């Protein structure tokens, strides 16, 4: 039998225990696929005394990460501890010690992925991170392998399960954001501090990773325009539903004439769009390729075993490379420098909900500002709210983001506008 592939894992929480279970459960299958057994020699944790719901031999568990990083027998390091700075130190040292690294850490990859990939290349090591986006959905390998022959110009994703769960429940049960958030925390779909999810940061990190791969360029987190769902009201949802749309926190990466834009924001999709029926904590990514057309990848975006499938598939790829002597050959320098679209080059369609003072000619003043900046209106609804104010709901046709900025500036000066209750991007009708 071939020499075992020896693994050291840092972290034994949700993902780490899934990895241990999956490697034990499918050991025979992996032996057949790799031609050598996979052996987990050490697992590093914070506390060896913590009660765990899976059995680990005492000699395997360690609270000293150096036992993994400095062990010459260990071929592959699996980083599933999370966090950024310490994880970066460990991954860096593992690569410098010529260990192949598998990570599920989107925060680490979104912030330091380019630097770590170059380090891996320098030390001729593999660095794989399939689980960092979409949990159990094999989206990264689909971009780098399955669709490598195509030119991908648009990536649209529901890549955060917590916010998708919240928006689904608000839409289905007509409950307020705050109530649904409490329920999501109780059911384990939201963390005790959910700000990175609900403010869009988690999705932005995943979109930075996906867009960088899809468009073969390095994307920084600051390149992603981000707006979360904290301010989405039940009233918004009801109007959106009445108009035949569904509200989703959508990540959109778009490239036109080599210029790109990336955003994460609550977005209206027509109910007929496939992403509109991705409910609860599920994730999905829609890709538009010049040759393939439209493809959609759907599945669990998190969870112990689903995420472990992605981590262990990466382990198998690194293990096969080790057997074949081809490790460290997968790094490709990005083909393009980064060229971001200007506001004038970004093209948008919007939904607005505006509280208007009940004065003669008020609606005409609002519509004339849109007309002045070249924005046509597709739908207008007006409904009295009280004796002194009415609510106006508008959907525009597409126009440049620069034009909308002018409209927003003029609205601020307009006396007949009481307040802009909400404004959301509208997509998916092309
Ligand atoms: N959970 C998911 O569904 C999911 C999905 C996709 C990606 N991810 C990513 O996967 C990673 C792990 O997530 P998780 O949910 O499994 O986290 P978790 O349940 O909080 O587990 C973290 C594990 O890391 C250990 N750990 C933390 N700091 C450590 C340190 N300094 N040295 C050694 N061990 C340390 C902890 O030890 P103790 O057990 O002793 O506390 C624990 O076992 C994160 O990057 C996350 O973003 C998670």
If asked whether residues 108 and 11 sit together in one domain, one would say: yes
Rounded percentage of the chain residues whose pLDDT exceeds 70: 100
Q: Would 409 be classed as within a structural domain?
A: yes
| Neighbouring residues of 112: CB distance < 8 A, sequence distance ≥ 6 | 84, 88
Residues with a known catalytic role: 206
Q: Which long-range contacts (CB under 8 A, 24 or more apart) does 66-73 make?
A: 67/8, 67/42, 68/8, 68/9, 68/10, 68/42, 68/44, 68/94, 69/8, 69/93, 69/94, 69/97, 69/99, 70/97, 71/8, 71/41, 71/42, 73/6, 73/41
Centre of ligand 1 to C-alpha 15, Å, is 7
Q: Count the neighbouring beta carbons within 10 Å of the beta carbon of residue 86.
A: 13
Backbone angles phi, psi at 386, to 5 degrees: -150, -170
Give yes or no for residue 417 having a pLDDT over 90. yes
Whole-Å CA distances, 333 to 115, 117, 129, 339: 11, 9, 17, 16
Q: What is the dihedral of CA 275, 252, 193, 82, to 10 degrees?
A: 100
Which ligand 1 atom minimizes the distance to the CA of 302?
3
If asked whether residues 153 and 270 sit together in one domain, one would say: yes
Q: Would 267 be classed as within a structural domain?
A: yes
Ligand 1 proximity of 105 Cβ (cutoff 6 Å): yes
Give yes or no for residue 1 having a pLDDT over 80. no
Centre of ligand 1 to C-alpha 308, Å, is 12
* Residue with CA at minimum distance from ligand 1 atom 30: 46
Q: Would 197 be classed as within a structural domain?
A: yes
pLDDT of residue 330: 83
Q: Comparing 249-258, 323-332, 374-383, 399-408, which segment has the lowest mean pLDDT?
A: 323-332
Ligand 1 proximity of 46 Cβ (cutoff 6 Å): yes
| Neighbouring residues of 58: CB distance < 8 A, sequence distance ≥ 6 | none
If asked whether residues 157 and 114 sit together in one domain, one would say: no
- Testing ligand 1's pocket by substitution, the residue of 8, 44, 45, 190 carrying the most ligand atoms inside 8 A of its CB is 45
Q: Would you say 174 and 234 are in contact if contact means Cβ atoms under 8 Å apart?
A: yes
pLDDT of residue 165: 97
Whole-Å CA distances, 148 to 113, 127, 261, 295: 20, 18, 21, 14
Q: Would 102 be classed as within a structural domain?
A: yes
Q: Would you say 126 and 120 are in contact if contact means Cβ atoms under 8 Å apart?
A: yes
**Average pLDDT value for residue range 358-373:** 94
Which of 358, 350, 424 shows the shortest CA–CA distance to 387?
Answer: 358
Helix 14-25 vs helix 304-324: angle between axes, to the nearest 10 degrees? Answer: 60
| Reported confidence tier of residue 188, pLDDT bands at 50, 70, 90 | confident
pLDDT of residue 429: 79
Q: Which long-range contacts (CB under 8 A, 24 or more apart) does 365-370 make?
A: 365/414, 365/416, 366/392, 366/394, 366/411, 366/414, 366/416, 366/417, 369/407, 369/410, 369/411, 369/414, 370/394, 370/396, 370/407
Ligand 1 proximity of 80 Cβ (cutoff 6 Å): yes
If asked whether residues 145 and 290 sit together in one domain, one would say: yes
Q: Would 336 be classed as within a structural domain?
A: no
Q: Would 430 be classed as within a structural domain?
A: no
pLDDT of residue 283: 98
| Reported confidence tier of residue 119, pLDDT bands at 50, 70, 90 | very high
pLDDT of residue 206: 98
If asked whether residues 156 and 284 sit together in one domain, one would say: yes
Give the ranges where 190-272 is alpha helix by DSSP (H).
195-198, 201-215, 234-242
What's the CATH code of the domain at 212?
3.30.360.10
Ligand 1 proximity of 212 Cβ (cutoff 6 Å): no
If asked whether residues 181 and 250 sit together in one domain, one would say: yes
If asked whether residues 162 and 287 sit together in one domain, one would say: yes
Q: Would 182 be classed as within a structural domain?
A: yes
Give yes or no for residue 430 having a pLDDT over 80. no
What's the CATH code of the domain at 316?
3.40.50.720
pLDDT of residue 8: 98
If asked whether residues 153 and 92 sit together in one domain, one would say: no
If asked whether residues 116 and 265 sit together in one domain, one would say: no
Which ligand 1 atom minimizes the distance to the CA of 82?
45
If asked whether residues 249 and 161 sit together in one domain, one would say: yes
Q: Cα 287 to the chain's mean position, in Å? A: 14
What is the longest distance spanned by two Cα atoms in the chain?
87
**Average pLDDT value for residue range 240-252:** 97
Centre of ligand 1 to C-alpha 6, Å, is 21
Task: Taking the CA atoms of 23, 24, 25 and 29 in sequence, report the sign of the dihedral they define.
Answer: positive
SS3 247: strand
pLDDT digit string (tens) for 291-319? 999 999 999 999 999 999 999 999 999 99
Q: Would you say 159 and 251 are in contact if contact means Cβ atoms under 8 Å apart?
A: yes
Residue range(s) defining the domain that contains residue 217 = 139-300
Give yes or no for residue 22 having a pLDDT over 90. yes
Domains: count for the chain = 3
If asked whether residues 240 and 372 sit together in one domain, one would say: no
d(CA 62, CA 174): 48
If asked whether residues 269 and 407 sit together in one domain, one would say: no
d(CA 98, CA 89): 14
Centre of ligand 1 to C-alpha 323, Å, is 29
């Amino acid at each position: 039998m071939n020499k075992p592939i020896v693994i050291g894992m840092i972290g034994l929480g949700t993902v780490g225990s899934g990895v241990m279970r999956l490697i034990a459960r499918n050991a025979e299958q992996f032996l057949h696929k790799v031609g050598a057994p996979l052996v987990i020699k050490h697992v590093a944790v914070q506390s060896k005394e913590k009660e765990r719901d899976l059995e680990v031999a005492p000699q395997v568990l360690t609270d000293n990460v150096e036992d993994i990083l400095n062990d010459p027998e260990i071929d592959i390091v699996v980083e599933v501890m999370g966090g950024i700075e310490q994880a970066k130190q460990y991954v860096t040292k593992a690569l410098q010690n010529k260990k192949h690294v598998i990570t599920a850490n989107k925060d680490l990859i979104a912030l330091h992925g380019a630097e770590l990939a170059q380090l891996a290349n320098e030390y001729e090591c593999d660095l794989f991170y399939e689980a960092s986006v979409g949990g159990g959905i094999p989206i990264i390998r689909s971009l780098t392998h399955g669709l490598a022959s195509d030119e991908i110009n648009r990536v649209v994703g529901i890549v955060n399960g917590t916010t998708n769960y919240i928006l689904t429940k608000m839409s289905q049960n007509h409950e307020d954001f705050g109530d649904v958030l409490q329920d999501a925390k109780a059911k384990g779909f939201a963390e005790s501090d959910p700000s990175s999810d609900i403010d869009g940061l988690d999705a932005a990190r995943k979109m930075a990773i996906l867009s960088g791969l899809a468009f073969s360029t390095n994307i920084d987190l600051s390149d992603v325009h981000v707006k979360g769902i904290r301010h989405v009201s039940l009233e918004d949802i009801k109007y959106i539903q009445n108009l035949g749309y569904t509200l989703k926190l959508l990540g959109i990466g778009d490239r036109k004439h080599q210029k790109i834009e990336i955003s994460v924001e609550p977005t209206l999709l027509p109910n007929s769009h496939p992403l509109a029926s991705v409910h609860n904590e599920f994730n999905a990514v829609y890709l538009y390729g010049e040759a393939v057309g439209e493809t959609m990848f759907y599945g669990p975006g998190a969870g112990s075993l689903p995420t472990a499938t992605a981590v262990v598939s990466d382990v198998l790829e690194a293990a096969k490379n080790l057997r074949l002597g081809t490790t460290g050959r997968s790094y490709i320098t990005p083909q393009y420098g980064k060229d971001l679209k200007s506001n004038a080059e970004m093209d948008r369609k919007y939904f607005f909900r505006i509280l208007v003072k009940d004065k003669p000619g008020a609606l005409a003043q609002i519509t004339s500002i849109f007309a002045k900046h070249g924005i046509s209106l597709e739908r207008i609804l007006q409904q009295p709210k009280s004796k002194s104010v009415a609510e106006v709901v508008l959907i525009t046709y597409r126009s440049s983001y620069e034009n909308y900025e002018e409209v927003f500036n003029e609205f601020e000066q307009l006396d007949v506008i009481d307040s802009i209750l909400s404004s959301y991007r509208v997509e998916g009708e092309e």
